[in-house]
A and B are shown apart, each in its own frame.
Chain A
Amino acid sequence: MGDKLEESLLEGVETLLAEKRYELIGRILSQVLRGEKLLTLSDIIDKALLNKYLGIPVFLSLWWALFRFTFDISAPLSDLIDILFGKLGEAASIYISNEQLASLIADGIIGGLGSVLVFIPPIFFLFFGLSILEDSGYLARAAFVVDRAMYKLGLHGKSFIPMLIGFGCNIPGIMATRTIAEEKERILTILVNPLMSCSARLPVYVFIGGAVLGGYAAAGTYSMYILGIVLAVLLALLFKRVIPYFKGKPSPFILELPMYARPTLRSTVLHMWERGVLFLKKAGTIILLATVVIWFLSAYPWAAVHAGEEPDIRASYIGLLGHKLEPIFRPLGFDWRGAVALFFGFVAKEVVVDTFGVLGISSAEDIQQIFTPVTGLAFMAFTLIYVPCLATIGIIYRETNSWKWTIFSIIYELVLAYIVSLMIVVIGGCLG
């Protein structure tokens, strides 16, 4: 004690000095400034949207509207694509004479990749809606509103912007943490960023939720996004409490709010395209590759799988892997197919849907045979929480420059995913 210049000696003085400065500025302005500063339209709208009590409800309602819009408008288009791929698959199995090649094209590529491409409409419409919110100037306000709440909880103000970006994709989200100067606050923000539900998870929510939650599919998806935010905040608070490295109060920051503007169709469509096209690129590369690998594992050993009248995937390599994994997931109510889908989902979240497609599970009836509404919701939550994709792991390593934090993030996400899913199953079971 006694020979260190501790910050605790100075607690509260900084804010006191800042207050005094603003007091002084107020006195100067009262002598220098005349005339009423007219309220602009932006100021008036902000009075409502940034209101202490209305801010969060407005944010939640707009977010909800975004999801309803995404779902309602894209559903018929997705159905159309689904029918198209169905026909393509039939044609492939009829016209390709080589049995194995036909299986690769029909079951593998058309069945697997097709089940992912069905999600082009919701992903593009989600980005369309997000672009409108962004171009209008609202997204910056959303950051401000949520941020104010987070700051009160003791989290850094700049954290929410990377998290908002994470709704599109966690990778740019994590890179955006570079704006946070304080190293420990930056690492904390990186660690919880994967909990932001990126667009790659959307196909899983729509695929599973659409089949087992019926009219509540949009609500289920919406709840995943909210669950992600809530978990991120709770985890950040927990880490701050438990891990000594993260202790300390957040530094304040200033966020400049742009004026509201009417979004133009051109810039909105451009924004949507820029982000959406990344999904298409991913589908054409990593997901296609994963599809071929998964198809191979599901179709071989050929003789064993195709011994009977109908191919029996349980005899394949993937079936063997699934049965090894199944006991781990049995408490959550996922069968071996859910287990392998999650296993391959490590590569990228779209691959979860892809895997189901290759395994021949594509219609709502197929899904209802594997999942109840409760286990479906648990599966969605598991998908939300566990490691987003290989690329995210890579970027976490690059940005933290530490294997320790990278491995920590993988482990906590897996454990948390398991706990939350289990809670959903247990509570859902109690409620009947």
Chain B
Amino acid sequence: MIRVALIGNPNVGKSLIFNNLTGGKAHVGNWPGKTVEKKVGECIYKNVKMEIIDLPGTYSLTANSIDELIARDYIIKEKPDVVVDIVDASNLERNLYLTLQLLELEANIVIALNKFDIAQDMSLEIDCGKLSNLLGVPVVPTVATTMEGMDELKEAIVRSAMEKKKSRPIKFSYGREIDELIARIEKIVRRDKKLARTYPPRWIAIKVLEADEEVLKMIEKSPCKHDIINLLKVRKWAIS
């Protein structure tokens, strides 16, 4: 069975896609210990069974809200086989922000470019092949309201799960100086084997720089804490 998580900004049509994939049959409960709704459904495509988990709608994956924490913890700890990132094609700029964060989390992503019809009505032309190349992940145009692109999406999910090439994560650059800093923190983090096994080290490095509360708490407990602090102290003046 393939485990598939759906993620996306609020109002991108995520629930509709969930219903389209699962036929509307869902097991509804709460995330453990939280008052946030959790929906799980099933989908069978070409004899492959998929479990579909609906993650909370979020704009980002910081530690600032319960929704975002649930989404990112699920992706990190439960490691779903495929994460379907539902992107509003008529509002790419804002939506791709989440996509970049998912790439940093080294999730196995398939992008569903939803509301494709609305983008066309706005006379936007989107080169899906090019987008797929640049991000290194499959991109499927969809229209959830009319169920267009649903078979293509299922196909892409199944193939992505089979290949599971870890989507050959494309490392994008934050500029030479910050890239170098990220690389050095990453190297320090890798020395804490336990930490590096659970979380992508590069992601940890980036989150340290973002002063992410949860990640800083983990670093507090890690033996590599002092090295990171020393590095940052020296660098503090250089960054600004």
By a beta-carbon cutoff of 8 Å, the part of chain A in contact with chain B is 2-5, 7, 9-14, 16-17, 20-22, 24-26, 28-29, 31-38, 181-182, 251, 254, 256
Contacts and interface: CB of A to CB of B under 8 A. Distances in A.
A5 B122 CA distance: 47
Contact of A32 (B65, B131, B209): B131
Contact of B209 (A10, A25, A33, A37): A10
Q: Across chains A and B, which 10 residue pairs bring their CB atoms closest together, nearest first?
A: A34-B125, A181-B65, A10-B211, A20-B174, A9-B232, A14-B210, A35-B125, A32-B131, A25-B96, A7-B211
A210 B175 CA distance: 64
B210 A17 contact: yes
Contacts of B130: 31-32
Nearest to B95: A25
Contact of B211 (A2, A13, A34): A13
Contacts of A10: 208-211, 232
Contacts of B92: 25, 29, 32-33
A17 B209 contact: yes
A35 B92 CA distance: 13
Contact of B64 (A3, A13, A20, A251): A251
B10 interface: yes
Nearest to A31: B130
Contact of A2 (B126, B178, B229, B236): B229
B93 A5 contact: no
A33 B239 contact: no
Given A13-B209, A33-B125, 20 more contacts: A2-B229, A5-B219, A10-B232, A11-B240, A14-B211, A20-B178, A21-B100, A22-B97, A24-B172, A25-B97, A28-B134, A29-B96, A31-B127, A32-B130, A32-B131, A35-B122, A35-B124, A36-B123, A181-B66, A182-B64
A199 B64 CA distance: 33
A252 to B, nearest CB: 8
Contacts of A12: 239-240
A140 to B, nearest CB: 13
Interface in B94-127: 94, 96-97, 100, 122-127
Contacts of B175: 20
A37 B178 CA distance: 33
Nearest to B121: A38
B79 interface: no
B71 to A, nearest CB: 13
A9 B97 contact: no
A37 B172 contact: no
Nearest to A258: B11
Nearest to A12: B240
Given A16-B178, A25-B93, A256-B11, A5 B240 contact: no
B150 interface: no
Interface of B: 10-11, 59, 64-66, 92-94, 96-97, 100, 122-127, 130-131, 134-135, 172-175, 178, 206, 208-211, 216, 219-220, 225-226, 228-229, 232-233, 236, 239-240
14 contacts: A9-B232, A10-B210, A13-B209, A14-B211, A17-B206, A17-B209, A20-B174, A21-B100, A24-B172, A28-B131, A34-B126, A36-B123, A181-B66, A254-B94
Nearest to B90: A37
Contacts of A5: 208, 216, 219-220, 225, 228-229, 232
Contact of B100 (A14, A25, A29, A182): A25
A48 B42 CA distance: 47
B178 A17 contact: yes
Contacts of A32: 92, 126-127, 130-131, 134
Contact of B96 (A7, A9, A28, A38): A28
A3 B229 contact: yes
A309 to B, nearest CB: 65
Contacts of B236: 9
Nearest to A20: B174
B233 A9 contact: yes
Contacts of A33: 92, 124-127
Contacts of A9: 229, 232-233, 236
A21 B209 contact: no
A29 B93 contact: yes
B229 A14 contact: no
Contacts of B210: 10, 13-14, 17
A256 B10 contact: yes
Given A28-B135, A256-B10, A181 B64 contact: yes
Contacts of A28: 96, 131, 134-135
